[in-house]
Amino acid sequence: MSRAGVIVDLTYAATLLAPLATLASVRLARARRYTSHRALQLGLLAVCFLTVIAFEVQVRLAGGSGAFVAAAAPALRPAARALLRIHITFAVATYLVWAGLAVASVRRFRGTLPGSFSRRHKRVGWAVLGGLGFTAASATGMYWLVFVA
């Protein structure tokens, strides 16, 4: 049982599902179902952004990240504070790269694929997948430190 609220749980669920849904999206692209790949990625990106925005609003209204970390047991607060810095750094970088890739890909999407952008799209996409995986792992650590332990 956790002490987290609904918005935290929804954000955490979206964060955990993002790498799995992205892997499913990669399978669609490999099967040359590019329109489905694009729709899944854009939908997933929108859901993730909306849940993170809702989470951020809740954190800000509750007093900011310091109040968030204060929910952890006193002995775990230094670890929670350190992990939060790492988590935010990687999550923000991942989401910015992911959003940039989505914008560039939508602009370059043509009927004939793969195209000239495909190689770069794959490399950056794999980096985003790695970032989503790390974000899910660090979010799990934060969730445990702040809401379970």
| pTM, rounded to two decimals | 0.92
Q: What is the pLDDT of residue 115?
A: 75
Full pLDDT tens readout for the chain, 149 residues: 578 889 999 999 999 999 999 999 999 999 999 999 999 999 999 999 999 999 999 999 999 998 889 999 999 999 999 999 999 999 999 999 999 999 999 888 876 667 778 889 999 999 999 999 999 999 999 999 999 98
pLDDT of 99 reads: 97
**Residue 22: per-residue pLDDT:** 98
Q: How far apart are the first and last CA of the chain?
A: 10
pLDDT of residue 108: 83
Residue 73: per-residue pLDDT: 94
pLDDT value at residue 41: 97
